[in-house]
């Protein structure tokens, strides 16, 4: 590794040379590494090819899930969420014991690994709503019911300082991870409740999906906070305070 010894303090890449700064000064290194052709053909890199294939499977499945749940994800804001979800999906793929390495798939039986995944790491559901949310799934009828017990907002919601109102938001997605598969999403949300209410009555959200489809169903639940200004409600900080979590997986 070469070290720069001149008044020119370069950063970035010029041709095959990369210039960068470390605690030991400005340094430069030449582009190297194993070629893509060798990785694709050399028997020594068979394990690498297998790992890459499984990672691609997980990446595509994570993108499919994000696309299926996009209307719910838009209630939150977490730039690191795609990477976190991708890592969780890698665990799902690696849990496949039916296929050999490099050919592993997203099996419904392993989707339970996604349970309690929070789409907003800075505002998790467990640290925002201090009540037990119940989920009942009837796959034969295609009905998902989510029940939130009566709560006292003052003590059972960890609310942003500027928030004046909140609502519960839920969705149920029937997932098809096959190559040409299409997932189905059902959405429901409550009216906006004032955070100054002493008590909010028990709430039930019901979602309808295709009946007896034989596909896994993921249930997502969250809380959205708003600020009322001159009679109109506005979301706070692009959803940065809103939790959204996978609360149930039914296979």
CB 244 within 8 A of CB 220: yes
How is the chain split into domains, by residue range? 1-32, 40-250
pLDDT computed for residue 20 by the predictor: 72
Calculate the alpha carbon distances from 136 to 71, 100, 186 in Å: 22, 35, 15
> What is the full per-residue pLDDT of the chain (251 aa) written as tens digits?
555 555 456 566 666 667 777 767 766 665 656 677 776 776 777 888 888 999 999 999 999 999 999 999 999 999 999 999 999 999 999 999 999 999 999 999 999 999 999 999 999 999 999 999 999 999 999 999 999 999 999 999 999 999 999 999 999 999 999 888 899 999 999 999 999 999 999 999 999 999 999 999 999 999 999 999 988 899 999 999 999 999 999 99
Here the tokens at position 103 are: 């050919």
- What six digits make up the tokens of 73? 């994800």
- Let me know the angle formed at the C-alpha of 136 by 132 and 137, rounded to the nearest 5 degrees: 145
Q: What is the pLDDT of residue 213?
A: 93
**pLDDT at 32 (0 to 100):** 59
């Amino acid at each position: 590794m070469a070290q720069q010894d001149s008044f020119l303090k370069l950063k970035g890449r010029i041709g095959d040379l990369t210039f960068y700064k470390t605690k030991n000064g400005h340094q430069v290194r030449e582009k190297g590494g194993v070629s893509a052709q060798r990785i694709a053909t050399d028997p020594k890199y068979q394990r690498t090819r297998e790992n890459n294939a499984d990672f691609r499977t997980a990446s595509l499945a994570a993108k499919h899930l994000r696309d299926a749940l996009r209307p719910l994800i838009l209630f939150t804001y977490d730039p690191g969420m795609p990477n976190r979800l991708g890592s969780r999906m890698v665990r799902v793929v690696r849990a496949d014991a039916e296929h050999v390495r490099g050919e592993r798939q997203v099996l419904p039986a392993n989707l339970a690994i996604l349970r309690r995944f929070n789409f907003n790491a800075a505002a998790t559901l467990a640290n925002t709503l201090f009540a037990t949310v119940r989920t009942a799934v009837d796959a034969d009828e295609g009905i998902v019911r989510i029940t939130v017990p009566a709560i006292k907002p003052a003590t059972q919601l960890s609310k942003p300082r500027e928030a004046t109102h909140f609502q519960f938001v839920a969705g149920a997605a029937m997932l098809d991870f096959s190559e040409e598969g299409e997932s189905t999403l059902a959405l429901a949300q409550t009216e906006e409740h004032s955070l100054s209410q002493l008590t909010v009555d028990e709430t039930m959200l019901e979602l309808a999906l295709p009946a007896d489809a034989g596909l896994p169903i993921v249930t997502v639940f969250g809380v959205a906070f708003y600020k009322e200004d001159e009679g109109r409600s506005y979301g706070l900080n692009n959803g940065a305070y809103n939790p959204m979590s996978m609360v149930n997986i039914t296979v």
